[in-house]
Amino acid sequence: MTTTKKAGQKESTGVGFTDDERAAMKERAEELKAEGRGGKKKADNLKAVLTKIAEMGDSDRVMAERIHAIVSRVAPQLGAKTWYGMPAYTDEIGKVVCFFKAAEKFDGRYATLGFEESATLDEGSMWSTSYALTEITDADAEKIEQLVKRAAS
């Protein structure tokens, strides 16, 4: 079995999941276990999201804070929670509408703002469901606001 490692990536055997992927799955299992024990209160979920954001490196943290502020302002009906250890925002029945994935989470070159199936972004027969982010300019923030409003409607 040959081991492979790309620049900035943790070691993988080429078969199965990377260490980062296994860690994300473990975080998700813990999240599900907590939900199965009667779920977390909204305040606990928000605290978990803010804690995860605070733990991020500078670049990712700045973007995650800005996205969190945008979602909180333009779609206050969405609930915050962690999803695979990353900040996510859910509809009234708990389905993830959008999420932020830090670049450093998987040693990526960009962070991701993603939208799940419950997001109402439908536009014809094809539309974007994720966006690569290296920073968030004011123009980007305006676009994110529009996307989040539409996704949450």
Amino acid at 62: V
The band of 1, judged by pLDDT with boundaries at 50, 70 and 90, is very low
Kindly list the distances between the CA atom of residue 58 and the CA atoms of 15, 62, 101, in Å, as whole numbers in the listed order.
32, 6, 14
Query: How far is Cα of residue 112 from the mean position of the Cα atoms in its chain?
Result: 7
Q: Which of 140, 86, 141, 142 is nearest to 116 (CA)?
A: 86
What tens digit of pLDDT does each residue of 57-114 get?
A: 999 999 999 999 999 999 999 999 999 999 999 999 999 999 999 999 889 999 999 9
For the segment 35-54, the average pLDDT, to the nearest whole number, is 78
The phi, psi pair for 98, rounded to 5°, reads: -145, 160
- Which of 28 and 8 is assigned the larger pLDDT? 28
Domains and CATH numbers, the chain: 19-152 (3.90.1150.200)
